[in-house]
Amino acid sequence: MHFDHAGIATGDADALASLYCELFSTRIAHEEEFDGLRVLFLDLGESYFELLEPVEEGTIQRYLDRNGPGIHHLAVATEDIEAALARAKTMGIDLIDEEPRPGAWGHDVAFLHPKSTGGILIEFVQH
């Protein structure tokens, strides 16, 4: 496994992308509308910033309403998401997703509950 990306909730993905692209001398590697969100991945070499801007009511809009903009989750890439979930479950970690589901950029994803992971929403992602 390795660190894949930080998911960042924002009300204005274009403005944040512009800032980060200039600050980090990077580019937008991928952009799409997915699951009620505008999603932009900024290339940071071996990892990404995933900017999440809601285009309709949903999880990220509720997150922004409660917490304001900021880091929403951290993602770890795995070659076997089912095995990663099984290991987490065996360890007693509460799973948000019992099975992988489709995520942005065509990846399979599954989330672990922050109450079991030190207060951090952790995402497993399989490319």
pLDDT tens string 50-99: 999 999 999 999 999 999 999 999 999 999 999 999 999 999 999 999 99
8 Å CB contact between 126 and 100: yes
In angstroms, the CA 18 to CA 126 distance is 28
Closest-CA residue to 4 (of 55, 75, 95): 75
Sign of CA dihedral 14, 62, 9, 54: negative
pTM, full prediction: 0.96
CA distance 43 to 64: 24
